[in-house]
Structure 1
């Protein structure tokens, strides 16, 4: 269960019940809880499925990483490539 204070705040600002707010918070925490490596691999696979070439995919991923709430350190294309391909 997430912190009660944030549950109250989200429930109060959205009109959700406390249990609904807690579930939303848990979903958001889980979404952003994956490691940088997990995120890079998942996004790369998703982008490749949609026909994005590697150079463009790595640029997109690097940009996305810089705007996540818990920022990853800046990663070069080479570092991203190593995460994906080992």
Structure 2
């Protein structure tokens, strides 16, 4: 196994910079002040909650039982190949 000192150094620096940026971003998002534009935003309406719930349900359904989607994909792929 050959070891590159330069590659190891730049990878370590990248990891340190990435972690520090993530912590800084988290601090600003969690504890920072809200801008006036964001303060004026309203909560979700009932129809938006309904749409979001439908999408969340479909996402969880396909995550638990992906065979539903794979059966449709396999049929169309097999028809296009033949």
Alignment TM-score, normalising by the size of structure 1? 0.35
Higher relative helix content: 2
Alignment TM-score, normalising by the size of structure 2? 0.36
Ranked by relative contact order (alpha carbons within 8 Å, sequence separation 6 or more), the top structure is 1
Which one has the largest radius of gyration? 2
